Structure 1
């Protein structure tokens, strides 16, 4: 009998989404346990030395950090999502880390306090995505061609942020990036990606953004005021 798996999660964490996507792609049954990171239970503090999600409980053991978690899943549960060629596999691992760096950039983007910081963070993101445009396999539909990989699992949560951002502010981050846009659209259609978050994810992210006291928070507030006025009319 397979060892039972529990994914300890937070509703908005993009790194949790990576693990959930990989589990779904491999059709591995698992339990999902949500925790409040503002009120961490004692067992979580003991199991997660960095105080972060995801955790993957494997039997009685806890694994922490998304990269080793998804690598463990890829080593132990078929099908393989990493390339078999060692050079290409190393390249894919590098782009999983590249996705993590973009997530850091998104944090800077939604935390920028003024329009100058917001514009700088936006330009930094555009630079990263322009690089991606040059390295995505042109045959598609995924990063490395026809097969879904761990890189795809890492970038799906990246793109999901922009699905919400673009619902209330016009952005030019993906302008002229045809390959990135096609890849983003393909990932958004995939069941493992759609089901990695709850149906109320957009509302939860908006609620999170309202509390940031940032330039993006102000843009969201302006949009919501316009919506309220339109409804009142």
Structure 2
């Protein structure tokens, strides 16, 4: 079976698929596209014009959740629970992960300080819900790395960059979430899902939003480049 993952360098949904492919330990290739200048061949295989697209023997599958479920159904090393109820619950929390990504998007485009604070509170609320759901770890469902973990690996990656901008305190007093974040950050499949230049690429993307977060990035840079008084 030939697998080609059509990708974008920053897309968290691409990262989900890349993490699952790595956990399944199957060979695949990646091809990157510029979503600001989409080629015709890409639009012909991605009806929504979005990444990821997985080409299976040149047959396209689009939408990350569908791709992950296909890989789970067709490849060894199961990541979903065996029991149907638990499997359905995991799928629900995967959808919750998409809601968290949407909240992150609202956070980084917030136009002013007041809006940014509101979006920060929204994120804290979502991670409070996760704190209440998590068990002893290190992963979402204990010691077994599952598809929910593959969804949240890219979620936490955003905060590696956000934390370098300012202390937003989104995970404060949420020890289970913090431990889960550390476990996912150190997972080889999560690390390998992006290139080494991801932080710089994401910061460039955030600056282009011309948002309150963009202003904070520029303020931090100014502080770092201002010479200290003798």
- TM-score, normalised to structure 1's length? 0.97
Superposition deviation, residue 57 in structure 1: 0.3
CA distance in 2, matches of 1:165, 1:216: 9
1:15 to 3, 13, 16: 13
Q: SS of the residue aligned with 2:27?
A: coil
User: What are the equivalent positions in structure 2 for 1:108-119 lying under 5 Å apart?
Assistant: 108-119=106-117
CA distance in 1, matches of 2:53, 2:228: 43
Identify the residue that residue 39 of structure 2 maps to in structure 1. Answer: 41
**Residue 193 (str. 1) matches residue 190 (str. 2):** yes
The unaligned stretches of length 5 or more in structure 1 are none
Structure-2 change in CA distance of 1:192 and 1:231 (3 Å) = farther
Q: SS of the residue aligned with 2:126?
A: helix
1:55-80 deviation digits (Å, cap 9, x = unpaired): 00000200000000000000011111
1:180 to 154, 160, 177: 177
CA distance in 1, matches of 2:104, 2:55: 29
CA distance in 2, matches of 1:232, 1:77: 61
CA distance in 2, matches of 1:175, 1:70: 31
Identify the residue that residue 160 of structure 1 maps to in structure 2. Answer: 157
Identify the residue that residue 79 of structure 1 maps to in structure 2. Answer: 77
CA distance in 2, matches of 1:84, 1:136: 19
Q: SS of the residue aligned with 2:165?
A: coil
CA distance in 1, matches of 2:4, 2:12: 17
Alpha-carbon RMSD across the aligned residues, in angstroms, is: 1.1
1:141-168 deviation digits (Å, cap 9, x = unpaired): 1000110000000001000000101012
1:203-222 deviation digits (Å, cap 9, x = unpaired): 00000011101000000000
After superposing on structure 2, the runs of 4+ consecutive aligned residues of structure 1 that deviate more than 4 Å are 230-233
Identify the residue that residue 126 of structure 1 maps to in structure 2. Answer: 124
CA distance in 1, matches of 2:66, 2:148: 14
Aligned length: 230
CA distance in 2, matches of 1:120, 1:16: 28
- TM-score, normalised to structure 2's length? 0.98
1:214 to 195, 211, 215: 211
Q: SS of the residue aligned with 1:167?
A: helix
CA distance in 1, matches of 2:193, 2:38: 22
CA distance in 2, matches of 1:230, 1:223: 13
Superposition deviation, residue 232 in structure 1: 10
Identify the residue that residue 65 of structure 1 maps to in structure 2. Answer: 63
Q: SS of the residue aligned with 1:43?
A: helix
Structure-2 change in CA distance of 1:119 and 1:40 (3 Å) = same
Superposition deviation, residue 171 in structure 1: 1.1
